[in-house]
Structure 1
Amino acid sequence: MAAHHGCLGPRSEVCAPGDALMGLLDLLRRRLRMEIAWLGRLDGGLLILQGLSGNAQPFGLALGCTIRRDAGVFGRVLAGDLPELIPDTRRNPRTADIISVQDLGIGAYAATPILDTDGNLYGLVGCLHRHPQPSLGDRDIRFLRLLARFLTGYVSDLHRMWEIRSRVWHRVHTLIDSDGLRIHYQPVIDLVAGRTVGVEALTRLPDPRLSTAALFRDAAAAGLGPELETAVIQRALPALHALPDDVRLAVNAAPSTVTGGLVELLLDVGDPSRLVVEITEAEQAYDNPDLVAAVRLLRRHGVLIAIDDLGACYSGLEMLLILRPDVVKVDRVLIKNMSGDPVRRAIVAGITTIARETGCRVVAEGIETRADLTAAREAGIRCGQGYLLGRPTPDPRAACRSPFAFSALTRR
């Protein structure tokens, strides 16, 4: 199995298949006690990796990598020149001299073809390990073949899903590569002092008719969420130099973005203690040890950790327990019409009580009316954000001197 050296890695047609496929690949990897499990679709002379389970970096592989059909282990398996399973490639004379075995460091492999519902060859599913696995045997290859037969009824839907998500990939990367992502900054206001204490970096698209939320949702479904969020953050960070020293810059990141290289990016900023990372509730991965470690490291360098949109999902309390944030942002769905809704007021009162007991700061999102502002202040919320207080603007300096904020806070 030789990765084509034109492999695009994470810049190829990267798409994350559905949870069902990933669950099957996880099962295969654990059952055969291998380091990675993969599924690839044949496209002419290439195999395109459409699914990966495990850490593929040591093998130089990534979702979307293209592997030449006429080179390495996998082509010979398809041709019948190699068996579907070899527990020790270095001792087996048929594989010891194959360049891909040496280049990728393959110590053991298992691979078998997948057919589509018409009986045509779709691709391959298999596993790799860097070290020999002498315990692999006939029972393991029988399990692999069984799983391949099960996947026959799934690959047609997988292919359609892949094509749809490939289009998403191209759309996202067109925006990134053409500098089509615009950053606007919205002030976060101290509701008592009436001054700007922070600005949040928000994404805007060149065509205002397009939905930013839909773009991020589609990117996450295509496995591009971390890349898109990181690109946005990279564009936002230079604004830090334009802000007053006492104003923080807040950026949004899903857990997978935080653990995917964001720490290094943020710690390379001159003064990371002026940053806030707002972790979204979009992914339920808060008990991931890597996320907890990343949050701990960021906090050691003075970065504040915020939970974004608290109250929008049921996982907010889990985030509070695991991440112990410095800031909680109450979702606009709770703030809107809170003044006339005792249920909303009770929920917000509970959040502010928890925050007070744990030393968190609270920010009310979506303050759009004077009634929202009054209700937030009466609930004991110190900071707020919303169109009444200041609209997003491409100029970070302008966000710090929003006239909307001061007049809204001082008039009774």
Structure 2
Amino acid sequence: MLKHLIGHTPGTDSDLVKWTLETVRKHLGMDVAYISEFVDDQSVFRYVEAPGLEEMIKPGDAHSLDDVYCRHILEGRLPELMPDTSLEPVAAAMPITAMIGSHVSVPLRRPNGDTYGMFCCFSSAPSPTLNERDLGIMRAFANLVAEQIGRDLDRNKEAEKKKGLIRDLITRQDFSVVYQPIVDFYSNRPTGFECLTRFGAQPSRTPDIWFNEAADVGLGTDLELTVLRHMLETMLHFPDKMSISINAGPETLQHADFAGLFDGLPFDRIVVEVTEHARIADYDALSQALRPLREKGMKLAVDDAGAGYSSLHHILRLQPDIIKLDMSLTKNVDTDPAKRSLAAAMLLFARQTGSVIVAEGIEKKEELEALKALGIRRGQGYLLSRPLVLADALRFAGGGTASRVSA
């Protein structure tokens, strides 16, 4: 029987606990199946399978361990298998037995051997057919559940650790901003700067990993808003008409606090970039959130164009002011006819839709010349300038020479 039941195990861990409760409850013919966790001196229901009885027993309900069978079972005063609870003197003396006629319960152990809680089934009426084989099946399924709960606890522990790191990073603002010049090919002068984040927190990781981990633990928008606020504080140091580009995900762009970041700043010098890798669930909602800002002069850019289908979809749905060609398209554009053709097509599209093309990742003079020959006028990359600290960026913006040293 157990082999037959396990053969129908669901394919994902997230469904395992609920499936186990339903399967065991039906197999034993019981009214209720649940998993509890011991929290201090309480038994807290974490998962419940109780068709038709949801108002009487549900996840989150808690009972004192003095009022339920759990502690007595763990300490040997009650058996795990009770076909008729009224025949057990300890159970018969407890008020809860007025509602429970039959009961099967086994402990759930954490990986270190401590008791997490109990896996229980009960019915209001006695069930004389319950036997040791049923208890064996219950124990086998309890082992499956315990393994899943152990994985969940490990994930939760890791998530809390990540949350702590991200919260600490936000509180201490343990990051800095560098500025990648966007350069006019013909004057060799910057027309704007893209703000990039560098994190000083440990462990040492690239910015995308920090932002992804923050998103994984529900703090992605908090971190982005903190970083953006810091970036925009430096904007007024730059000369008039010099644009400042910032990167933000869809959730941040639609957050109630996003628009307030620009209070007192010239909207016509602000460019907001949406990356190709950002998943946009509702383009209409995002466009509506950005419309008031764009009407004030803020420009929208789609980053990493040409890197994949998403960027093209972003372009069609968001109608950006700026299209940034991904470095995968720019790299070797001088020797790759297919890349040149695609870049030319993107340029034609931009002209017909009123957008501007900016090429990213330019590292060779030959690539620059090929882009110029296509008619592209602006770009960024190590050939033109590496990201600069604020003082060097202001010097370059004011007419000085760009540093070739990476910041």
Cα shift at 1:251:
0.5
Aligned residues: 291
Cα shift at 1:189:
1.0
More deviation, 371-380/241-250: 371-380
Greater C-alpha radius of gyration = 2
Task: Please list, as runs of the form range in 1=range in 2, the aligned pairs for 1:97-246 lying within 5 A after superposition.
Answer: 120-121=116-117, 155-206=149-200, 210-246=205-241
Q: How does the TM-score come out when normalised to structure 2?
A: 0.62
CA contact (8 A) 1:308 1:329 kept: yes
State the distance in 1 between where 2:302 and 2:43 align: 41
CA contact (8 A) 2:245 2:271 kept: yes
Cα shift at 1:210:
3.0
For the residue of structure 1 that corresponds to 2:62, the secondary structure is helix
Mark the CA change 1:343 to 1:160 in structure 2 (over 3 Å): closer, same or farther. Answer: farther
Aligned to 1:79: 63
Aligned to 2:395: 398
For the residue of structure 2 that corresponds to 1:377, the secondary structure is helix
Mark the CA change 1:360 to 1:165 in structure 2 (over 3 Å): closer, same or farther. Answer: same
Aligned to 1:34: none
CA contact (8 A) 1:116 1:156 kept: no
Cα shift at 1:121:
4.4
CA contact (8 A) 1:247 1:274 kept: yes
Cα shift at 1:261:
3.1
Aligned to 1:364: 359
Cα shift at 1:159:
3.0
Cα shift at 1:260:
1.8
**Matching residue's letter, 1:403:** T
Per-residue deviation, residues 365-404 of structure 1 (Å, max 9, x unmatched): 1112212211221222221011121221221413424524
**Matching residue's letter, 1:337:** N
1:331 corresponds, among 326, 329, 332, to 326
For the residue of structure 1 that corresponds to 2:241, the secondary structure is coil
Answer 1 or 2: higher relative contact order, Cα 8 Å, separation at least 6.
1
**Matching residue's letter, 1:215:** W
For the residue of structure 1 that corresponds to 2:282, the secondary structure is coil
Aligned to 2:285: 290
CA contact (8 A) 2:388 2:403 kept: no
Per-residue deviation, residues 258-299 of structure 1 (Å, max 9, x unmatched): 112353223413322211100122332153433121121221
State the distance in 2 between where 1:42 and 1:168 align: 25
CA contact (8 A) 1:254 1:281 kept: no
Aligned to 2:336: 341
Mark the CA change 1:255 to 1:374 in structure 2 (over 3 Å): closer, same or farther. Answer: same
CA contact (8 A) 2:43 2:117 kept: no
Mark the CA change 1:290 to 1:45 in structure 2 (over 3 Å): closer, same or farther. Answer: farther
Mark the CA change 1:174 to 1:46 in structure 2 (over 3 Å): closer, same or farther. Answer: farther
Alignment identity in percent?
30
Unaligned runs of 5+ in 2: 1-11, 19-35, 47-56, 68-106, 120-143
Mark the CA change 1:372 to 1:155 in structure 2 (over 3 Å): closer, same or farther. Answer: farther
Mark the CA change 1:157 to 1:378 in structure 2 (over 3 Å): closer, same or farther. Answer: farther
Mark the CA change 1:77 to 1:291 in structure 2 (over 3 Å): closer, same or farther. Answer: same
Unaligned runs of 5+ in 1: 1-18, 26-39, 51-72, 82-114, 124-149, 407-412
**Matching residue's letter, 1:166:** E
Aligned to 2:296: 301
CA contact (8 A) 2:304 2:325 kept: yes
CA contact (8 A) 2:275 2:311 kept: no
State the distance in 1 between where 2:226 and 2:374 align: 37
State the distance in 2 between where 1:195 and 1:275 align: 18
Mark the CA change 1:368 to 1:269 in structure 2 (over 3 Å): closer, same or farther. Answer: farther
State the distance in 1 between where 2:43 and 2:394 align: 50
Mark the CA change 1:76 to 1:180 in structure 2 (over 3 Å): closer, same or farther. Answer: closer
Mark the CA change 1:155 to 1:246 in structure 2 (over 3 Å): closer, same or farther. Answer: same
State the distance in 2 between where 1:376 and 1:157 align: 52
Mark the CA change 1:116 to 1:365 in structure 2 (over 3 Å): closer, same or farther. Answer: farther
Per-residue deviation, residues 213-251 of structure 1 (Å, max 9, x unmatched): 222222222222211111111111111110111101111
Q: How does the TM-score come out when normalised to structure 1?
A: 0.61
Superposed CA RMSD in Å reads 3.8
Cα shift at 1:174:
2.1
CA contact (8 A) 2:358 2:378 kept: yes
CA contact (8 A) 2:252 2:258 kept: no
CA contact (8 A) 1:390 1:403 kept: no
For the residue of structure 1 that corresponds to 2:265, the secondary structure is coil
Mark the CA change 1:76 to 1:205 in structure 2 (over 3 Å): closer, same or farther. Answer: closer
CA contact (8 A) 1:366 1:385 kept: yes
Mark the CA change 1:44 to 1:193 in structure 2 (over 3 Å): closer, same or farther. Answer: farther
CA contact (8 A) 1:389 1:405 kept: no
For the residue of structure 1 that corresponds to 2:280, the secondary structure is coil
State the distance in 2 between where 1:45 and 1:264 align: 48
State the distance in 1 between where 2:289 and 2:338 align: 36
State the distance in 2 between where 1:47 and 1:190 align: 68
